[in-house]
Amino acid sequence: MKYIFNQYPILTVIITLVISGSCTHTPTPIEKTVVLSSKTSKPPSEDSKFTGIYKSYHTDGYLYSEIKFENGLKHGLAKRYYPDGKLHSEIYYENGKKVNLSKWFYTSGEVYRVTPYKNGKIDGIQKKFFRDGTLQAEIPYENGNRKIGLKEYDKYGDLLKSYPKIVFTATDNTQINRIYLLRCSLSNKSSKVNFYLV
């Protein structure tokens, strides 16, 4: 009888090992935390085959971003934060390419911009909003290229129907330095504009 009681703890251990060995265990994602300092810290590369969450921190200590990776590629939701911890942006990735709707936010938490992505390129109607949530603009894109059909709205939500004209001013300096200068500006003298030569 004494022999059975001495063997009971061993039998308990053997049964526990058999039961725990037969259970399936799903590994939890590896979390890699990296401190972002100037230009020295970089997210994992495709060669690293890293799977998990990459967190980067600003040198001031606040969480700067969280990015999900699968086999070294961004895959899933990526978030970026303002210094006060509020959400700056949400971008979805699939196998390293932007997909679905991505959102950017004002510091107040209101949506600033919503951009549709398909296979890594802007595709669809990008929307921009005023701070109060009123629609400011609808910008059509196809396969990463801006398309005709821009719609802009005033702060009351009314569609803008008139725009400033582009003004060209020519300066002929060919006799002095062989340069013919063509300047572009807007008729309303706005300086917040970019001109592109195509």
Residues 91 and 12: their CA atoms lie apart, in Å, by: 51
Q: Mind listing the pLDDT tens digit for each residue in 14-73?
A: 444 444 444 454 555 555 554 433 334 566 777 778 888 888 888 888 889 999 888 889
Domain limits, the chain: 28-161, 163-198
Is the confidence at residue 7, as pLDDT, over 70? no
Q: Mind listing the pLDDT tens digit for each residue in 104-114?
A: 999 999 999 99
User: Are 82 and 88 a contacting pair, CB within 8 Å?
Assistant: yes
DSSP state, residue 177: H
Q: Mind listing the pLDDT tens digit for each residue in 171-197?
A: 887 778 878 887 888 888 877 777 766
Nearest to 114 by CA among 82, 94, 89: 89
Q: What band does 115 get if pLDDT is binned at 50, 70 and 90?
A: very high
Residues 1 and 76: their CA atoms lie apart, in Å, by: 61
User: Are 32 and 51 a contacting pair, CB within 8 Å?
Assistant: no
Q: Mind listing the pLDDT tens digit for each residue in 121-151?
A: 999 999 999 999 999 999 999 999 999 999 9
| Domain made up of 28-161: CATH architecture | Alpha-Beta Complex (3.90)
102: exposed, middle or buried (Cβ count in 10 Å: 0-12, 13-18, 19+): buried
User: Are 119 and 97 a contacting pair, CB within 8 Å?
Assistant: yes
Is the confidence at residue 98, as pLDDT, over 60? yes
What pLDDT, on the 0 to 100 scale, is given for residue 13? Answer: 42
Encoded amino acid at 173, one letter: N
Phi (first) and psi of residue 24, to 5 degrees: -90, 145
What pLDDT, on the 0 to 100 scale, is given for residue 42? Answer: 65
More confident residue, 197 or 156: 156
| 3-class SS shares of the chain: helix, strand, coil, % to 5 | 15, 45, 40
Is the confidence at residue 2, as pLDDT, over 70? no
Nearest to 185 by CA among 174, 177, 194: 194
